[in-house]
Amino acid sequence: MKLSVLLVISAPVLVSAQQSLWGQCGGIGYSGPQNCVAGAACTTQNAYYAQCVPGSGGGGQTTTAATTPRTTAPVTTTRTGTQPAGTGLDTLIKAKGKKYVGFAADGSGQLNDATLSNILRTEGGSLTPENSMKWESIEPNQGSYNWDTADLLVNFAQTNGKQVRGHTLLWHSQLPQWVKNINNKATLTKVIQDHAAAVAGRYKGKIYAWDVANEVIADGGGMRTSVFSQVFGDWTFLDVAFKAAKAADPNAKLCLNDYNIDYTGGKLTTFIQVVKDLKSRGVPIDCVGTQTHTSVGSSNIGNYKNTLTMLAGTGCEVQITELDIAFPSTSSSSALLNQQSNDYKTIVGACMSTSACTGITVWGVSDKNSWIKGKYPLLWDDNFQKKPAYTGFIAGINS
């Protein structure tokens, strides 16, 4: 019969049905159709869910949908239409006198993914471990360290000639309970010193810059409430952390990192004052990190250059440490993609025209790996296709 003839011709691997656009097509425990309709490709979102998303494939073709976790990259195909040339963002920015373009990544799932790791190798000059060096990951119990995931990233960087930004020695979040339970200054001082000595010491000479302390300023300004601020009662927990990091890895640049300092207000004012005070107390601080988790079309972006200039006024090196530009919701449009491209251009351009701004780290590679997945904040889409944002980034470098 006509239908079966067609199926034999078009589908060498016989599959009973085709999943519609946006439907599920694979994942652990899933037993439905693994093929997508024409114009859609089955793409693994995580071990439990693969989805038919717009793209090549489909139309009866057996796709990459998996019923077991996949550790390799999704199949990437050459799309029709223009894709910017693979010029390498890090190469481009270095040619303009900056130190690096970097990415956050972590774990074997990412670093052993052929497509993602190829982007890290060809487009980036620096890596930040997204989670593996955080206190709860690396020292979940006192004196007991999990090095494997952090080692994997540092080894990947060394093998491929990339810098590493260490992230982070002291942070109120992703902090194990045993540290939060400490209630006297002498103990906490020793614990901070031991932690910095162990972690920064292990990677001595292999870290370009350490986020020694992260997010210590309260939203709105002043000191964030944390075990550190409460036990010390003042900012001198920072002195302890920076001095311990300096002792452990004397050549690493030591940074204070925070978010929402990409616009003016009480938080930026406090941040700058804290850095100046650290310097005046002789505490070794070399750099300031502005995370720059921002939103497409944000009015703050037009003022971004101004905030970089204010941060440069501390006399420290300025680094953009966690850049991503989120959509307002989970719906996408070409207007938003283009606005996002413009926003990347503006932010990157602001760094280019600020001599103290030395490097830019984007907080992830593809939208599907982002910590705010669903808001399309990065330079590559879920299928590792370059977005207009990538072109905007290059335009910023060249601006």
Q: Binding to ligand XIL by residue 322, rule CB under 6 A?
A: yes
Report in angstroms how near the CB of residue 375 gets to ligand XIL at its nearest: 13
Using the rule CB under 6 A, which residue among 49, 145, 147, 371 binds ligand XIL? 371
Backbone angles phi, psi at 80, to 5 degrees: -75, 160
The answer to whether 118 and 386 have CB atoms below 8 angstroms apart is no
Among 90, 123, 130, 239, binds ligand XIL (CB under 6 A): 130
Residues 47-66: x/- map of binding to ligand XIL (CB under 6 A)?
A: --------------------
Q: For residues 198-237, which are near ligand XIL according to CB under 6 A?
A: 214
Site string for ligand XIL, 245-264 (x = CB under 6 A): --------------x-----
Q: Taking the CA of residue 34 as centre, how many other CA atoms within 13 Å lie in the half-sphere pointing to its CB?
A: 18
Query: CA-based angle 49:103:119, to the nearest 5?
Result: 70
C-beta of 30 vs 371, nearer to ligand XIL:
371
Determine if residue 364 is left, alpha or beta; phi over 0 gives left, psi from -120 to 50 gives alpha, anything else beta: left
For 224, residues 6+ apart whose C-beta sits below 8 A from its C-beta are 172, 215, 216, 217, 218
> C-beta of 211: minimal distance to ligand XIL in Å?
7
Nearer to ligand XIL, 195 or 345 (CB): 195
Rg of the chain in Å (alpha carbons): 23
128 lies in the binding site for ligand XIL (CB under 6 A): no
Residues 42, 63: contact at Cβ < 8 Å?
yes
3-state secondary structure of 257: strand
> Encoding tokens for residue 72?
């390799």
Extract the tokens encoding 153: 């990233």
373 binds ligand XIL (CB under 6 A): no
Examine residue 139 and tell whether it contacts ligand XIL (CB under 6 A). Answer: no
| Nearest residue to ligand XIL, scored by beta-carbon proximity | 371
Pairing of strands 49-54, 24-26: antiparallel
| # binding residues, ligand XIL (CB under 6 A) | 7
- Nearest distance from residue 336's CB to ligand XIL, in Å? 22
> What is the binding site for ligand XIL (CB under 6 A)?
130-131, 214, 259, 291, 322, 371
